[in-house]
């Protein structure tokens, strides 16, 4: 102390300032590596450095390799729409995702050569897979073709054939269907379109609706994802009830598909 010509009390002040401004922040920085607070404290030290005019901006420091975060581009989920008829639901789904970065309608699968949905696919420039019964039910169920297209989700939109076990095993909880009634009522083999609406009216139900559900190895039996309801009027015919059901289908099916394909946060 005599050599430096500094009084003892001032020397301790200098040591204290050094500990607080230099050693303490870097000690905390090292400890923060083990508690997930590294980025916070690098920003803190960077602010100190900028204020005293030394050092680089540490807020831009790279994370340790184990926590390094890299910007990634979201790969859209590939959807295959299975349809047998005019394709009104398919069209609504296609329209909903036309400008989407999250979902791509990659394939239309159809079992009827003259179905209206094929004209929609041509208009929208979406590839078509026209399937036949023997291969579908007794062959590979076109699983290889779907895997080749990297299909992430199969959406049934008025598709009348039962889904084979082969497809269910290859795409577990990756196949969804929309049913024009409130399951578990009015489901099962042969219950589609106006057959469902007539059954609802005959049963004297005061409400009907839609059910979106996962597909399993039984007709209309998989876990329910979503339901929406509408009134059944005394004056209803199958056709008038179907019109209200279609409004529910068009409003909700694309939105539920979007929810199911959102990337995990």
pLDDT given at position 182: 98
Higher-confidence residue of 181 and 10: namely 181
Closest CA to 134 of 161, 107, 104: 161
Q: Which of 55-64, 78-87, 144-153, 182-191 has the lowest mean pLDDT?
A: 55-64
* Banded model confidence at residue 206, pLDDT cuts 50, 70, 90: very high
**% of the chain residues with pLDDT over 90:** 68
Q: How many residues does the chain have?
A: 265
Quickly tell me which residue has 């929406």 as its tokens: 228
pLDDT given at position 67: 35
Each residue of 76-108: pLDDT tens digit? 999 999 999 999 999 999 999 998 989 999 999
Query: What integer best gives the mean pLDDT of the chain?
Result: 83
Once rounded to an integer, what is the mean pLDDT over residues 145-161?
Answer: 96
Q: Is residue 179 among the annotated active site residues?
A: yes
Residue of 96, 138, 179, 252 with catalytic role:
179
* Banded model confidence at residue 37, pLDDT cuts 50, 70, 90: very low
pLDDT given at position 226: 97
Three-state DSSP class for 230?
strand
As given in the structure block, the two tokens for residue 121 are 């696919």
Question: Quick check: 26 pLDDT over 70?
Answer: no
pLDDT given at position 9: 64
Question: Quick check: 264 pLDDT over 80?
Answer: no
pLDDT given at position 169: 96
46 phi/psi in degrees, rounded to 5 = -60, -40
Q: What is the 3-state secondary structure (H, E, C) of 174-223?
A: CEEEEECCCCCCCCCCCCCCHHHHHHHHHCCCCEEEEEEEECCCCCCCCC
* Burial status of residue 223 (CB atoms within 10 A of its CB: 0-12, 13-18, 19 or more): exposed
Within the chain, all domains assigned CATH 3.40.50.170 are found at 77-261
Q: Which CATH class is domain 77-261?
A: alpha beta
Distances from the Cα of 138 to the Cαs of 36, 80, 108, 133, 145, in angstroms?
Answer: 54, 21, 21, 8, 15
């Amino acid at each position: 102390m005599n050599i430096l010509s500094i009084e003892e009390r001032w020397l301790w002040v200098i040591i204290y300032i050094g500990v607080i401004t230099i050693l303490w922040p870097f000690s905390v920085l090292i400890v923060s590596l083990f508690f997930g607070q590294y980025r916070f404290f690098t920003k803190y030290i960077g602010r100190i450095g900028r204020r005293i005019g030394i050092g680089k901006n540490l807020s831009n420091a790279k994370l340790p390799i184990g926590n390094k975060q890299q910007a990634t581009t979201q790969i859209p989920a590939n959807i295959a729409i299975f349809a047998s008829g005019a394709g009104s639901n398919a069209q609504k789904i296609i329209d909903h995702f036309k400008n989407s970065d999250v979902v791509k309608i990659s394939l239309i699968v159809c079992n009827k050569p003259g179905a209206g949905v094929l004209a929609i696919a041509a208009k929208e420039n979406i590839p078509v897979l026209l399937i036949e019964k023997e291969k579908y039910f007794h062959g590979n169920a076109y699983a290889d073709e779907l895997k080749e297209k990297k299909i992430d989700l199969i959406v049934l939109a008025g598709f009348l054939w039962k889904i084979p076990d082969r497809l269910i095993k290859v795409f577990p909880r990756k196949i969804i269907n929309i049913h024009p009634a409130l399951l578990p009522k009015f489901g099962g083999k042969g219950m589609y379109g106006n057959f469902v609406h007539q059954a609802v009216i005959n049963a004297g139900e005061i409400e009907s609706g839609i059910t979106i559900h996962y597909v399993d190895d039984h007709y209309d039996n998989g876990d329910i994802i979503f339901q929406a309801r509408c009134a059944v009027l005394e004056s209803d015919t199958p056709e008038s009830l179907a019109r209200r059901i279609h409004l529910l289908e068009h409003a909700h099916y694309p939105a539920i598909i979007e929810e199911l394909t959102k990337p995990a946060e």
